[in-house]
Structure 1
């Protein structure tokens, strides 16, 4: 299943959390022209390095579909960042 929502939480200087919820589909539609250029660049890179473009696309799709339920948490001193993919 494709991810639907990305939640980003960042700890503020006062100790509170700033939370952003980003819907994936509208962002994907806005960035679609750049995504098409990235796919073309990936295709050229696959052909230049003799990697199967279909296999590379299949691997990228597998990573995308495995993202829901993933959480990244980074803490360094008083700073903290959490990214959750649903």
Structure 2
């Protein structure tokens, strides 16, 4: 696993950590959507750049899961707002 594969997995860990830090009843949802979405897209880009099969698949799938969660947060924000 090269440095881009490690960065891709690191983006997932940072996204999960930021989600737990920024959550709460008075959470700023647009800020959460921007931060998690950008970290997830960076993680997918790093996974594609890594050109290693295993780190690419793990990086794309895990960052894709974070991106799906961001989509659900965006959907909930649109329904509630």
**Greater share of residues in helix:** 2
Q: Do both proteins adopt the same fold according to a TM-score greater than 0.5, normalized to the shorter chain?
A: no
Structure 1 or 2: more strand by fraction: 1
TM bracket, shorter-chain basis:
0.3 to 0.5
TM-score, normalised relative to structure 1: 0.32
**Rg larger in structure:** 1
